[in-house]
Structure 1
Amino acid sequence: MSGDAGVVEGPLQGYHHETYVVPLPGWTGEAEPVRWKCREPRPGLLWFDRRCFASEEELLRALQGRIEGIPDLIQAGSAGLQRFIEGETLGALFGSGGEIPSSLLGQIVSLFGQLARVKPDSLTAERTCTSVYRAAEGDTDGFLERLILFTEEEVYQRNMPDFKGLFYDLGLESASFGKLREQVSGLTSRPFHLLHADLHRENFVVDGAGRLWTIDWELAMFGDPLYDLATHLYLMRYPRDQERRMIERWREVVAPGGSDGWEKDLPKLLAFKRAQSVFTDVIRTALSLEGERTADTGVLARAGDRIRQVLSAATVPLGIGVPAPESVTAALGRWCEEQAKSAEVLAGAAVPGGA
């Protein structure tokens, strides 16, 4: 498509997709070649969040003219391409926990206001959420229950064959989900609208003119607007004063009724995010250790520290304790040994005459 394979950049760093950036001279009539993203989902990956739209590109087309600062799209032959936003991510400019300049904070607030105007019956993009995972309009308790159910069934239970021993060693049992439901029930009803559901620093790109762009809409859904705010606050790690300002400004732009009961419900939704992170972070951390068999280099110990941090943050919503550092390190070591033995068995079975 570019006419020169040497100008293609990639694959870019990313978990869910293999992504390449391709300059296409003349496609937009602009003086300089515009670069476009060509990507496909990586096969065999674990998904820790539900996807509610059939196609991110189809969703972005439906949102053109309704949401500012989202990538343009073109069809180049059989390939659907997103415009590559030239700039730096918010995370590269202002790391986790750092304060965001007021001009950029205002653009995030504006995005929340635009999302609030996109109602479930006003969008043509195909939705794929089954009835099991789709709550009725305004049923915030039902909405959160379905998020818990997805974590329980598609993250915890689905990965049980590979992580049963590690889950047990860390005190993560099925009863934890009952505790979680007790902690977060009783939400106030709020009207649903479109949620990005993954608004963190790496999904915002700042261009050379200081304009904020929002990327990676794969986890978008319709649901409780307070959940989008809770997810954003949890992932952004704002300084305390700026978090307070964000809440105040979000309340000003959300649709009527969208902030009802926020003081009571925001802590519950943040508790869910902390609980959800336990299962995803345990699995991701363990997978990052595949091939490690000892703790001689401190790799297992550092991984254990990360796991203890997420466990500590979720002790109340999950009703769990935090194992001692040496216990977590030992649990990770056992998991690595088990994986190594399983790999050896599979390798032997693949060789003719192997044991």
Structure 2
Amino acid sequence: MTPQVVSGTRRRAQQLGGDASVVKGPLKGYHHETYVLPMPGGTRIVKLREPRAEILWFDRRCFQSEEELLRALQGQISRIPEVLDVEGMGLQGFIEGRTVGQGLLRNGRVPDALLDQLLELFREMVRITPEMLGVKRRCMDKDRAEDGDSNAFLERLIAFSEEQVFERNHERFGGLFAELGLSGESFARLRKHVSGLQERPFCLLHGDLHRKNLIVDGQGQLWTIDWELAMLGDPLYDLATHLYLMRFPADQHRRVIRDWCRVVEHIRPGSSRGWEHDLPLILDFKRAQSVFTDVIRVSESLLRRDGKTLNWTGLPLAALKLQRVLVNAAEPLGLSETPSHSRIMGALVHWRPRAEFA
């Protein structure tokens, strides 16, 4: 029997916990290898996580350290993980509960009590302006949009997708992109489509508010985790990202928009300025952005563990997923037509030799 390989992250978790049997994990997650363990004495449960070396980053990160950001937000944002100092490391406290994606009705409705708490989270974030956070940032000053310049803010995100997702992965996925009708011109069309946004005062954004990052504890309190993609920018972008990821039923979608506008305008007038025109455009950006990341992720998911052999049984479903995202993003990307299901399957098969003999 082949001995099980223990990763360095798991070894560190076992050393901190003092007993391998108390370590749980790895938890599901794309970017990190994560373990949960109690501290000696059992007074706290923490998460030890480290970035996966082999993964691709598809989202721009603003802050140098999520833990530093969480420390700065204590007392300003309710119900976020605390950061504990353990042997020279800052470890996040583990929030026990269930995600908003668990135990809900199949139509995807979110209980009203949780929607109210989500709105309170937005209320707290819109209060936090760029000058209020003295947390080290990754990006250079020249790469930051001026406060209120929503057009420049979105342009930085488009540029990141173009340079760090499309161009950086073009050597391996360029042929597949081309067969699906995607090229460098797609970004020029996208820029034209989303131009003309209104100015809105910048604030703190979570950047990744989906069901798995929202935890409900035993008392029904909503906690927000995974602040790694947090940034400072256009508040309407955070609402658009939240709506795009949550997939609310139509009536809740409308309610969240209405109540969000009321909440942010009360705290910082102008935060929802022009939302009727701009929100659909930012949602179109999210749809377009997901095309390039989904092409890479879906095609990579077709490879077996050896990283070379194609999983043929998964091919039809993978092609269906890509067909859906291409149809949804056809307008902002200026696609005159979207490839058929069979054509997408063919494109994935053509891409296979590049994967197998790279």
> TM-score by structure 1 length?
0.92
Q: Distance in 1 between matches of 2:330 and 2:118?
A: 31
Matched, 1:323 2:336: no
CA displacement, residues 316-339 of structure 1 (integer Å, 9 cap, x when unaligned): 000112111111001101112221
Give the equivalent residue in structure 2 for 1:197: 207
Letter in 1 for 2:195: S
Matched, 1:339 2:352: no
Secondary structure of the structure 2 residue equivalent to 1:93: coil
CA change 1:209–1:222 in 2 (3 A) is: same
Quick one: which of 112, 130, 136 aligns to 2:122? 112
Give the equivalent residue in structure 1 for 2:45: 35
Matched, 1:280 2:296: no
Q: Distance in 2 between matches of 1:14 and 1:341?
A: 28
Q: Distance in 2 between matches of 1:333 and 1:295?
A: 10
Maintained 8 Å contact 1:97/1:236: no
Give the equivalent residue in structure 2 for 1:177: 187
Q: Distance in 2 between matches of 1:281 and 1:140?
A: 26
Q: How does 1:49-88 map to 2 (within 5 A)?
A: 49-88=59-98
- CA apart distance, 1:45: 1.7
CA change 1:97–1:183 in 2 (3 A) is: farther
- CA apart distance, 1:73: 1.0
Maintained 8 Å contact 1:304/1:328: yes
Maintained 8 Å contact 2:302/2:310: no
Secondary structure of the structure 2 residue equivalent to 1:91: coil
Q: Distance in 2 between matches of 1:272 and 1:7?
A: 44
Secondary structure of the structure 1 residue equivalent to 2:101: helix
**Unmatched runs of 5 consecutive residues or more in structure 1:** 27-31, 343-355
Q: Distance in 1 between matches of 2:91 and 2:354?
A: 42
Maintained 8 Å contact 2:303/2:310: no
- CA apart distance, 1:262: 0.5
Quick one: which of 328, 344, 357 aligns to 1:313? 328
Give the equivalent residue in structure 1 for 2:111: 101
| Higher alpha-carbon deviation: 34-43 or 310-319 | 34-43
- CA apart distance, 1:92: 1.7
- CA apart distance, 1:93: 2.6
Q: Distance in 1 between matches of 2:323 and 2:177?
A: 13
Letter in 1 for 2:32: H
Q: Distance in 2 between matches of 1:273 and 1:198?
A: 12
CA change 1:116–1:24 in 2 (3 A) is: same
Matched, 1:263 2:273: no
Q: Distance in 2 between matches of 1:78 and 1:244?
A: 46
Maintained 8 Å contact 1:225/1:258: yes
- CA apart distance, 1:133: 3.0
Matched, 1:127 2:140: no
Give the equivalent residue in structure 2 for 1:143: 153
| Higher alpha-carbon deviation: 284-293 or 228-237 | 284-293
Maintained 8 Å contact 2:180/2:339: yes
CA displacement, residues 87-137 of structure 1 (integer Å, 9 cap, x when unaligned): 111112337851100100000000000000110000121111123531001
Give the equivalent residue in structure 2 for 1:44: 54
Maintained 8 Å contact 1:133/1:150: no
Give the equivalent residue in structure 1 for 2:5: none
CA displacement, residues 181-224 of structure 1 (integer Å, 9 cap, x when unaligned): 11100000000000001100010011111010000001100000
Give the equivalent residue in structure 2 for 1:350: none
> TM-score by structure 2 length?
0.91
Q: Distance in 2 between matches of 1:329 and 1:338?
A: 15
Letter in 1 for 2:340: A
| Higher alpha-carbon deviation: 125-134 or 60-69 | 125-134
Maintained 8 Å contact 2:303/2:311: no
Maintained 8 Å contact 2:129/2:202: yes
Q: Distance in 2 between matches of 1:175 and 1:225?
A: 28
Secondary structure of the structure 1 residue equivalent to 2:353: helix
Maintained 8 Å contact 1:140/1:187: yes
Maintained 8 Å contact 1:289/1:336: no
Q: Distance in 1 between matches of 2:331 and 2:107?
A: 23
Q: Distance in 2 between matches of 1:118 and 1:166?
A: 42
Give the equivalent residue in structure 2 for 1:156: 166
